[in-house]
Structure 1
Amino acid sequence: MLTVPPDGDVARIATLRVRLAHRLARHLRTSPAVLAPATPLVSFTFDDAPVCACTVGADMLDASGAKGTFYISGGLIDTRALHWRTADEARIAALHAAGHEIGSHTYSHVFVPNLGPDAIAAESRRNDERLRTIVPGLALESFAFPYGFGSISAKRALSGLYRTSRGIVPGINVGRTDLHFLRANPLMDGHLDIEGIAGLMDAACACNGWLIFYGHDVVDDPSPYGCSPALLEAALRAASDRGIPCVSVAEGLRRSL
């Protein structure tokens, strides 16, 4: 099992075997579906649940009438990482109470390509149990690959546990799609600017597609994996200007099938 800080750059140390397995997972559909939403859709997702994402980010979504998806690793709850502190149980419960979706991210934030199907299923079930101690009866429909790396065996194992798995390969989800490798675009100041956001929104409108953004912290001086409130506001405004609903991943799937 590869050990990397939750906010570390695993791409620099992934082996050739891992990269090949990830590439194969991108191209071989294990849960094919045809997505055809009646209108374009946008989903804002946040990995690891930094406190600022669960407060500043969630408040901004709420003010815009949007609901997001927060992928949480139970073993990281209320801990300190390199760039942020993760939310505690009270903040996670508040997210759910406000109508945001809680998704799974494995219990230990493990590097999925190095796990067999039994191990990834055990990690996921342990995480689900932990999250349900915070929100009893929580329905967990959505998963995100820690660090964005997947594998065929992981996708097959996850298909029995969740309705979707989200990666970090850019694109728009429409037409023939693998539900266990949803495409997502980085909402990060170092990767995307206002013009880029506008281009993605226009592309989603042109094809009636489902556009997913992912990030981590939401703070004025974000980590390399997060965004400033100004960038999030620009994305919310771009969606509003085009009349695009901003929905959770679970709701996006329901509107797309």
Structure 2
Amino acid sequence: MLAVPLDGDVARAVNWRARLTHRLARHLRTSPVTLAPATPLVSFTFDDVPVCAATEGARMLVDYGGRGTFYISGSLIGTQARHWRVASEEHILALHEAGHEIGSHTYSHVFLPNLDSKGIVAESQRNGSCLRAIVPGLTLESFAFPYGFGSLPAKRTLAAIYRTSRGIVPGLNVGRADLQLLQANPLMDGRVDAAGIARMMDEALAKNGWLVFYGHDVVENPSPYGCSPALLEAALRAASDRGIPCVSVAEGLRRSLRRPAA
């Protein structure tokens, strides 16, 4: 297992082999597609799902007519992490009932480059069973790599389980893409401001692209991995002012997927 806290800076702890396999995973597509949404789109995603994301963050999305994707690790439900308390079963059910998407983040929040295919399948199955015990009949379409690190074997294994896997490589999803490493941009006060968000929204508008954001907590004085309500508000307002629909990852894929890449 990776010897870093759940919400720590994993980049400082990984060895060169993990860095290399992640770099290969970034550049070699295993699930190539052409993404061509008819209109620009934006998706807001939250990893680990702190209580404040499941409550304040989810409420803000709904207030703007949007829905988000919340990537959950079953073993963390209701626990206390370093910077936040993780959402409870009741919070998860409320998210689903409000129309938000529940996604998978492995059961144990495990570092995937350390797992073989059998281990990844086992983690996915266990997490699915856990989440379906909370939301009966839940369909899990979307996955996010814990710590943002993937590998080519992991991507190939995940492709048989989920429609998409989201990483933390920044960019706009449009044209040639890899469904098992969707690009996503940090929604974190220390890494982006309202002006930067506006520029990304303008690019999505100009290119008819699908913009994905990721974060964790939504609270005043957030952790280094989260955002303040003011920053989320700025992002939601920027999308609304430009007429960009705010959709879950599963819905974003449905609106973006046109044909296999050549």
- Give the TM-score normalised by the residue count of structure 1: 0.99
Q: Percent identity?
A: 75
Structure 1 contact 186–192 (Cα < 8 Å) conserved: yes
| Matched ranges for 1:23-172 at <5 A | 23-172=23-172
After TM superposition, give the deviation of residue 3 of structure 1 in Å: 3.9
After TM superposition, give the deviation of residue 5 of structure 1 in Å: 2.0
What do the CA deviations read for 1:143-164 (whole angstroms, capped 9, x no partner)? Answer: 0000000000000010010000
Aligned-residue CA RMSD (Å): 0.6
2:196 corresponds in structure 1 to 196
After TM superposition, give the deviation of residue 214 of structure 1 in Å: 0.1
What do the CA deviations read for 1:47-79 (whole angstroms, capped 9, x no partner)? Answer: 001000000100100111010000000000000
1: distance between equivalents of 2:200 and 2:16? 31
2: distance between equivalents of 1:4 and 1:121? 23
Structure 1 contact 107–126 (Cα < 8 Å) conserved: yes
The list of structure 1 runs, each at least 4 consecutive aligned residues, that deviate by more than 3 angstroms after superposition, is none
2: distance between equivalents of 1:185 and 1:252? 15
Q: Tell me, which stretches of 5 or more residues in structure 1 are unaligned?
A: none
| Matched ranges for 1:203-242 at <5 A | 203-242=203-242
2: distance between equivalents of 1:7 and 1:16? 21
2: distance between equivalents of 1:121 and 1:21? 19
1: distance between equivalents of 2:109 and 2:144? 10
1:6 corresponds in structure 2 to 6
Structure 2 contact 4–13 (Cα < 8 Å) conserved: no
After TM superposition, give the deviation of residue 252 of structure 1 in Å: 0.1
Structure 2 contact 25–151 (Cα < 8 Å) conserved: yes
In structure 1, the residue corresponding to 2:231 is in which secondary structure? helix
1:95/1:218 Cα in 2 relative to 1: closer, same or farther (>3 Å)? same
What do the CA deviations read for 1:167-224 (whole angstroms, capped 9, x no partner)? Answer: 0000000011000000000000000001100010001111100000000000001000
1: distance between equivalents of 2:128 and 2:6? 19
Q: Tell me, which stretches of 5 or more residues in structure 2 are unaligned?
A: 258-262
1:180 corresponds in structure 2 to 180
Q: What is the identity, as a one-letter code, of the residue corresponding to 1:188?
A: M
2:260 corresponds in structure 1 to none
After TM superposition, give the deviation of residue 6 of structure 1 in Å: 1.7
1: distance between equivalents of 2:113 and 2:225? 21
2:15 corresponds in structure 1 to 15
After TM superposition, give the deviation of residue 117 of structure 1 in Å: 1.1
After TM superposition, give the deviation of residue 8 of structure 1 in Å: 1.0
